């Protein structure tokens, strides 16, 4: 199990919704072109999933 960290930030309502939309819409291809390899892509997508969950738990869950 990896160590975890807590990141705290403040966003405006508009920014939180925009970020929630982004992490909801971003797909494999968009992440892959910014990753070193497929393993890196999977890791980035897992991190986006954690961010998506945190936003949803804060009330920012786009359909």
- Tell whether 63 is covered by a domain: no
What pLDDT score was predicted for residue 2? 81
Distances (CA, A) of 13 to 7, 16, 17, 27, 54: 18, 5, 6, 24, 14
Whole domain around residue 50: which residue ranges?
Answer: 13-57
- Tell whether 17 is covered by a domain: yes
For 7-61, write each residue's pLDDT tens digit. Answer: 999 999 999 999 999 999 999 999 999 999 999 999 999 999 999 999 999 999 9
3-state secondary structure at position 1: coil
- Tell whether 6 is covered by a domain: no
Inter-axis angle of helices 38-57 and 13-25, nearest 10: 140
- Tell whether 1 is covered by a domain: no
What pLDDT score was predicted for residue 62? 87
- pTM, rounded to two decimals: 0.89
d(CA 22, CA 48): 10
């Amino acid at each position: 199990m990896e160590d975890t960290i807590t990141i705290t930030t403040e966003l405006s309502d508009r920014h939180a919704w925009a970020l929630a939309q982004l992490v909801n819409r971003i797909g494999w291809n968009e992440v892959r072109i910014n990753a070193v390899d497929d393993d890196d892509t999977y890791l980035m997508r897992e991190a986006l999933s954690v961010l998506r969950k945190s936003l949803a738990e804060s009330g920012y869950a786009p359909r």
